Amino acid sequence: DILEVGAVLVDTETKKITPIIDNLIRHDYVDKSAWIFKMSSLEPEEIYKADYYIQFLKSRIQYYLIKYPFTSFRKVFDFGFLINNGVKIFEETDCLMQKTREYMKTLGHRKYNVNFAYNILFNEDIIEIKMCTIYNVMFSALNLYLHVGLH
């Protein structure tokens, strides 16, 4: 299951990135050993107390998907989750994770993570990451648009 939803609008002319969705998704049960809890400071209790179930966020997500082309950091997984929850995807672009990994390889790096992308952009490390999704989307999108382009 997806535990958080993060989305940004990327202006391809100005390179401006505007966060539009940054929410935890409420679940009544989560696997406490899931990677998200190991890779961030997010705690299972925060998921149990989150403000919204996916059904509430669905209409908000759909609003943006009708207006704009869409991609995702883990496109196959994320699109499957959205489609299984009744969201319709009209226009899509390349997978951010795949394009980011390709870009990182051109820099001589085999692995990609949010802190690495942030470091490339701002020349400093992120001390604590609470919600990974919004950072993944923002920094991957910005890196790719500045350095590679995304179609």
pLDDT tens, position by position, 49-82: 998 888 888 898 899 888 887 777 778 888 888 8
User: Which letter does DSSP use for residue 144 in this model?
Assistant: H
d(CA 66, CA 53): 21
Give every residue of the chain whose pLDDT is below 50, as ranges: 127, 129, 131, 148, 150-151
Determine the pLDDT at residue 4.
83
Report the pLDDT value the prediction gives residue 106, as an integer from 0 to 100: 77
Token readout for 45 is: 């209790």
Query: What pLDDT score was predicted for residue 151?
Result: 43
The per-residue pLDDT for 46 is 92
Q: Are the C-beta atoms of 5 and 57 separated by less than 8 Å?
A: yes
What are the φ and ψ backbone dihedral angles of 35, each rounded to 5 degrees?
A: -55, -35
pLDDT at 28: 92
Predicted pLDDT at 27: 92
pLDDT at res. 44: 93
